[in-house]
A and B are shown apart, each in its own frame.
Chain A
């Protein structure tokens, strides 16, 4: 039986070449998490980084000012744990607020839920910012 000629495979698209100033991804994640926008600043996206550096902590502070709560990791309460994970996403502002005793939350306050919305969203947006920094570091953007 004659061997069938193997069809020519299309060439694979070349992987994006690493830039000469490639940064370690772990450091991009760490910096981006601790300092909102820090990953972008380190990667040279100064304007974007500065916008995140201002807006995300401002959202976090508004959340605290509206008497929102920094949720604890409570075993057996998965929804509270999810909120706690989102809160930790804010990075250094979260740890500073915790250290200074902010974020106790006052359930009876009329703005309590708004405060929670600001605090949780600030952390989740920072996660999106870290993913964006990841794409930039890999040369996808």
Chain B
């Protein structure tokens, strides 16, 4: 794994948080998997959207 890829590290971070969050929030395996997928998608999606917004406002 390329440890300097920001996208990969972000996805890895989101994956870890999603698994813990999903298991923490729900009780059945199906609900946990769904919740984890939602958390993962939200984190990565929000980061990509914010990244593109900031692209148009360079420092």
B9 touches A66 (CB 8 A): yes
Over the window 12-35 of chain B, the binary record of Cβ atoms lying under 8 Å from chain A Cβ atoms (1 yes, 0 no) is 110011011101100100000000
Q: Which of B3, B17, B23, B27 contacts A52 (CB 8 A)?
A: B23
Which bracket fits the contact residues of B? 10 to 19
Interface assignment of A117: CB less than 8 Å from any CB of chain B: yes
Residue of B nearest to A51 (CB): B23
Q: Is the CB of B17 within 8 A of A51?
A: no
Taking CB as reference atom, which chain B residue is nearest A59? B16
Bound CA span A49–B13, Å: 20
CA distance A66 to B20 in the complex (A): 20
Q: CB-CB < 8 A to B17: which residues of A?
A: 121, 125
B9, B20, B23: the one contacting A114 at CB < 8 Å is: B9
| Min CB–CB distance B11 → chain A (angstroms) | 12
Q: In residues 95-132 of chain A, which contact B (Cβ within 8 Å)?
A: 110-111, 114, 117-118, 121, 125, 128-129, 132
**How many residues on A have C-beta within 8 angstroms of the other chain's C-beta atoms?**
21
Give chain A interface residues in 55-97, CB to chain B under 8 Å: 55-56, 58-59, 62, 65-66
The distance in angstroms between the C-alpha atoms of A22 and B17, with both chains bound, is: 30
Q: Is the CB of B23 within 8 A of A48?
A: yes
Give the docked Cα–Cα distance between A139 and B4 (Å).
45
In the bound complex, residues from chain A placing their C-beta under 8 Å from that of B16 are 55, 58-59, 62, 118, 121
Which residue numbers of A lie inside 8 Å of B, CB to CB? 48, 51-52, 55-56, 58-59, 62, 65-66, 110-111, 114, 117-118, 121, 125, 128-129, 132, 141
